[in-house]
Amino acid sequence: MTTDVSRISVIVPTYKEVENIPLLIDRLDALRIQNPQLDIELLFMDDDSKDGSAELVRDKQLPWVQLVTRTSDRGLSPAVLDGLRRAKGDILVVMDADLSHPPEVLPQMLAELEQGADFVLGSRFTEGGTTDDEWGIFRWMNSKVATLLALPLAPVRDPMSGYFMLRKSTFEAGRNYNPIGYKIGLELLVKCGCKRPVEVAIHFQDRQFGKSKLTIKEQLRYLQHVRRLYIFKFAFISQLVQFLVVGGIGVIVNLVVLTLALRLGFSTSISVVAAIVVSMLSNFALNRRFSFSFARSESAISQFIGFVSACSVGAVVNYVVTMALTPWISVVQLAALIGVIAGTGFNFLASRYWVFRIRHVATSKTPPASTKQLVEQHVEDKRAVGTEVAGRKN
């Protein structure tokens, strides 16, 4: 590690953690004393706990510790993003308030960052990492499943870790931050485009005070979050997979309606038409909700008209293939299945590039400057240089 002083901002999201806050402050203070090269700024981003946390930090009167009370847009991920933007340090650290993340490994994490890593994780599952023995089989399985879901997004052993370090420049280079739930580290790993993540082994200790924020609702929100990240990183493939899943559901709808219509005594041609219409309606609703959810702000009526128009060719292909095969295939449902497959390719391309016209999922961080703006900036820069030179002469 270099001997230069490193300005580190430690961001800790809190909600009703008054018992843990003084313990975390003490451990970080001890770390500061043992490592004078670490200039630590501690930011508690508190979601208006009203449990005495704000008063406790104020009464300590430590210049390097600050508590920000947040009364709007509350939640763990928004609190962390708020803290990262407020941070004054060149190095950013995020950790939990419940003492599950050992502050003592910060120098080792910093060393990895200085040696070329662009994102450093405090990892439970890398070699040497451990967890408390009190972890039950269900908690262990939940963590493993969540990790497997995230592997294509971040090739590390513990992508679920809430203890991480990165440079502020890396954070500022990221874009489209839109996390759901509590896995903000995974959000940053993906959206900052980190290519050299490194894991540092930690012992993950269960909280002693306070109540865990991990609930079934948060686990469901994690699935939503992972889906968003897949769309961000693998936009076309992700949409195609979702479209095919919706198409699979549409196949089931198609076959159920076809079978029901036939049993009610309708002719084969009418039954096939009914099955196609109903499955088209269900496909539109599901694709708008999932496959192309970015376009839900547009008019549903105009999109439906466009969807029906675009998929009409696919529907015609579906109908023609089905009716052409019916005399040769005794099971009408099988002929209908082949017809559905024949129309799927056209339907996806029409939906992707016409009905739900994509506005690149990953947009640029700032719009390009106009010629006028560039000229104005150039003039302003020249004035600034002139003022600086004049000041030096004086």
Mean pLDDT of 154-166: 90
Q: Which CATH number is correct for 6-233, 2.60.40.1530, 1.10.10.10, 1.10.1060.10, 3.90.550.10?
A: 3.90.550.10
Tokens (6 digits) for 124: 């439970």
Any idea which of 83-97, 226-240, 254-268 has the lowest mean pLDDT?
226-240
Helix (H, G, I), strand (E, B) or coil at 37: coil
Q: How confident is the model at residue 214 (pLDDT cuts 50, 70, 90)?
A: low
Give pLDDT, residue 211. Answer: 62
Give pLDDT, residue 294. Answer: 66
Average pLDDT, the chain: 82
Any idea which of 59-63, 134-138, 148-152, 364-368 has the lowest mean pLDDT?
364-368
Q: Is the pLDDT of residue 116 over 50?
A: yes
Prediction pTM value: 0.67
- Interaxial angle between packed helices 53-60 and 21-34, expressed in degrees from 0 to 180 and rounded to the nearest 10: 30
Ordered strands of the 38-46 beta sheet: 65-69, 38-46, 6-14, 91-94, 164-167, 119-123, 197-201
Higher pLDDT, 149 or 199: 199
Give pLDDT, residue 136. Answer: 62
Q: For 261-308, write each residue's pLDDT tens digit.
A: 999 999 999 999 999 889 888 988 888 877 777 667 677 787 888 887
Q: Is the pLDDT of residue 315 over 70?
A: yes
Mean pLDDT of 353-379: 48
Residue 278 and residue 59: Cα distance in Å, rounded?
Answer: 66
Closest CA to 118 of 172, 77, 72, 74: 172
Q: Is the pLDDT of residue 172 over 50?
A: yes
Q: Is the pLDDT of residue 372 over 60?
A: no
Q: For 22-81, write each residue's pLDDT tens digit.
A: 999 999 999 999 999 999 999 999 999 999 999 999 999 999 999 999 998 888 889 999
Give pLDDT, residue 360. Answer: 41
Any idea which of 124-133, 165-174, 211-220 has the lowest mean pLDDT?
211-220
Considering the chain, what percentage of its residues have pLDDT values greater than 70?
83
> Residue 356 in contact with residue 292, Cβ under 8 Å?
yes
Any idea which of 115-124, 176-185, 217-226 has the lowest mean pLDDT?
217-226
Residue 92 and residue 118: Cα distance in Å, rounded?
Answer: 11
Tell me which range, 165-174, 224-233, 289-298, is most confidently predicted by mean pLDDT: 165-174
- Interaxial angle between packed helices 332-350 and 235-263, expressed in degrees from 0 to 180 and rounded to the nearest 10: 150
Q: Is the pLDDT of residue 198 over 60?
A: yes
The structural domains of the chain, with segments of one domain joined by +, span 6-233, 235-355
Give pLDDT, residue 95. Answer: 96
Give pLDDT, residue 375. Answer: 42
Q: Token match 């200085």: residue?
A: 114
In the chain the first and final C-alpha atoms are separated, in Å, by 42
Higher pLDDT, 392 or 224: 224
Helix (H, G, I), strand (E, B) or coil at 10: strand
Mean pLDDT of 325-341: 84
